[in-house]
């Protein structure tokens, strides 16, 4: 229970012999004193928290008492109006709230999440905004109440939330038709739960920075993770996909886009979808990765150029995006694409690619235990480069990974993109090694000189 009072410390007078009146704040068996702008001699201080006036008292007692009443009543009113939240505050939080200009303190996890989601969207960070929204919805589903105070997020809370995710079937975004077989829902995986935990931790850190809480359960709670399965394909499978033929246009597009991503060092589907002709400079694709904001500078090899020429767009590098949602004049125009193979955004495009890659995988009978997606390109680039004894540093350069100790250094020096070019060329040549090369015309046999006759 929070308690507010006005006190002085008689043993600590200033040089004028007066003591500073303190606002004493007590909560959860701890006390903090905050100095006010009022001073008084110990003889003129009353136990009621007022300054003694009259002929023998302080001449400024009236104005001092008005000021002290304002301070005390203002603090009491804040506590009364926020009683439920104040009861959960420790003494430091209560001090910050009483000294702030806010009349109402908002320590609700869900409200803070919504505020943070709006901030992320304003910064064009749609992926983080969506993941935080998914986290908030999952926590709300687990908690089952409209409000969740930051102080209620304890180690026990996190353990129960983790257990709930592990044992509760996850919701599906897929809309099933009546004729579709009923989908079997599975609980979340450990790494999926870890994503939620990291976003909860991020929200708690933000709330601490905003002086809304001092509670931090992650000091003793460890976020569990599992080693991610390598999503890479062996060289033989990459060659099989490259050589796959089909009368189905979508499968053909999926094959070409998959190989284009491979030739461009595992470029992400979203980044590839929104590339424009302006991103091509001197035969190189230069862009900032949407996920990390890191700069990439990739040489367009002839194999990649052949595919780019095949699907050359008007504004965008590939015509799949020429009539995408960002290019439409109004939201009322829902179907402005010229071709059925143009897509409103990278999500629809990526879904088509992955669905048809799955069909190609089944046709080629490639490892049925996994489902191939476009992200396999990135892993495959790394694993096949390693087969070629390309150094880890060069592979990291190709993939855009950076170590903490080199992060600052890269501000001062240009990336050695030629190393990445050589590694990529070596990778593509290795892939093409199985291609039959037309036999060169053999040279006519040289005529042997007649040996001298022996007598």
Domain count, the chain: 3
Same domain, residue pair 77 and 116:
no
Residue ending a domain, choose from 37, 72, 99: 99
CATH of the domain at 307: 1.10.443
Q: 43: burial class by Cβ within 10 Å (0-12, 13-18, 19+)?
A: exposed
Same domain, residue pair 209 and 78:
no
Q: Is residue 449 part of a domain?
A: no
Same domain, residue pair 165 and 291:
no
Contacts of 163 (CB under 8 A, 6+ apart): none
Which pLDDT does position 409 carry in this prediction? 41
Which pLDDT does position 51 carry in this prediction? 94
Token pair 């399965």: residue: 229
Same domain, residue pair 121 and 148:
yes
Which pLDDT does position 293 carry in this prediction? 78
d(CA 268, CA 375): 7
Q: Is residue 361 part of a domain?
A: yes
Same domain, residue pair 201 and 338:
no
Tell me the pTM. Answer: 0.61
Local structure of 133: helix, strand or coil: helix
Same domain, residue pair 395 and 265:
yes
Same domain, residue pair 75 and 114:
no
Same domain, residue pair 206 and 153:
yes
Domain that residue 48 falls in: 3-99
Which pLDDT does position 413 carry in this prediction? 42
Q: 20: burial class by Cβ within 10 Å (0-12, 13-18, 19+)?
A: middle
Which pLDDT does position 174 carry in this prediction? 52
**In which region does residue 438 sit, left (phi positive, over 0), alpha (psi from -120 to 50) or beta (all else)?**
beta
Q: Is residue 403 part of a domain?
A: yes
Residue ending a domain, choose from 193, 219, 245: 219
Same domain, residue pair 145 and 80:
no
Q: Which two tokens stand for residue 445?
A: 């046999």
d(CA 193, CA 301): 40
Q: Is residue 113 part of a domain?
A: yes
Token pair 């090899």: residue: 301
Q: Is residue 353 part of a domain?
A: yes
Dihedral (Cα; 15, 17, 23, 29), 10-degree rounding: 90
Q: Is residue 104 part of a domain?
A: no
Local structure of 23: helix, strand or coil: strand
Q: Tens digit of pLDDT per residue, the chain (455 long)?
A: 788 999 999 999 999 999 999 999 998 889 999 999 999 999 999 989 999 999 889 999 999 999 999 999 999 988 888 887 788 778 887 888 888 877 766 789 999 999 999 999 998 888 889 999 999 999 999 999 999 999 899 999 999 999 999 998 876 555 555 555 555 567 888 989 999 999 999 999 999 888 788 889 999 999 998 866 667 889 999 999 999 999 999 999 999 999 999 999 999 999 999 999 999 999 999 998 887 778 899 999 999 999 999 999 988 999 888 878 777 655 545 555 566 777 888 888 999 999 999 999 999 999 888 889 998 998 999 999 999 999 988 888 888 765 544 444 444 445 578 888 999 999 999 999 876 544 444 445 555 454 444 33
Q: Is residue 26 part of a domain?
A: yes
Same domain, residue pair 35 and 115:
no
d(CA 196, CA 77): 38
Same domain, residue pair 46 and 13:
yes
Same domain, residue pair 148 and 266:
no
């Amino acid at each position: 229970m929070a308690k507010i009072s006005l006190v002085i410390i008689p043993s600590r007078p200033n040089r004028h012999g007066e003591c500073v009146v303190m606002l004493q704040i007590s909560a959860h068996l701890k006390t903090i004193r905050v100095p006010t702008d009022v001073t008084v001699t110990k003889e003129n201080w009353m136990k009621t928290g007022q300054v003694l006036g009259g002929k023998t008292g302080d001449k400024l007692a009236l104005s001092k008492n008005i000021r002290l009443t304002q301070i005390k009543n203002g603090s009491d009113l804040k506590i009364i109006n926020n009683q439920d939240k104040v009861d959960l505050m420790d003494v430091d939080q209560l001090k910050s709230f009483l000294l702030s200009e806010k009349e109402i303190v908002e320590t609700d996890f869900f409200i803070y999440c919504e505020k943070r989601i709006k901030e992320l969207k304003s910064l064009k960070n749609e992926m983080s905004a969506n993941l935080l929204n998914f986290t908030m919805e999952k926590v709300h589903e687990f908690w089952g109440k409209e409000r969740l105070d930051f102080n209620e997020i304890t180690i026990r809370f996190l353990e129960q939330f983790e257990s709930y995710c592990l044992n509760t079937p996850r919701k599906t975004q897929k809309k099933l038709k009546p004729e579709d077989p009923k989908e079997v829902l599975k609980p979340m995986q450990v790494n999926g739960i870890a994503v939620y935990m990291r976003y909860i931790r991020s929200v708690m850190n933000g709330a601490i920075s905003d002086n809304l809480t001092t509670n931090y359960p992650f000091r003793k709670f460890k976020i569990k993770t599992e080693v991610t399965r390598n999503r890479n394909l062996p060289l033989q499978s990459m060659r099989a996909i490259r050589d796959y033929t089909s009368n189905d246009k979508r499968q053909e597009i999926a094959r070409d886009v998959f190989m284009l991503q491979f030739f461009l060092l595992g470029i992400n589907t979203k980044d590839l979808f929104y590339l424009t002709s302006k991103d091509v400079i001197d035969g190189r694709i230069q862009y900032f990765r949407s996920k990390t904001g890191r700069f990439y500078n990739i040489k367009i090899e002839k194999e990649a150029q052949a595919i780019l020429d095949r699907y050359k767009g008007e504004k965008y590098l590939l015509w799949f995006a020429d009539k995408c949602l960002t290019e439409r004049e109004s939201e009322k125009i829902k179907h402005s694409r010229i071709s059925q193979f143009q897509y409103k955004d990278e999500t629809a495009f990526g879904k088509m690619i992955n669905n048809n890659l799955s069909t190609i995988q089944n046709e080629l009978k490639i490892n049925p235990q996994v489902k191939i997606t476009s992200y396999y390109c990135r892993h495959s680039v790394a694993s096949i480069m390693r087969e070629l004894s390309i150094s880890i540093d060069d592979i990291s350069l190709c993939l855009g990974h950076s170590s903490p100790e080199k992060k600052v250094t890269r501000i001062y020096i240009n990336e050695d993109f030629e190393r990445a070019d050589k590694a990529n060329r070596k990778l593509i040549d290795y892939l093409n090694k199985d291609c039959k090369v037309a036999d060169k015309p053999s040279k006519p046999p040289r005529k042997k000189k007649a040996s001298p006759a022996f007598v």
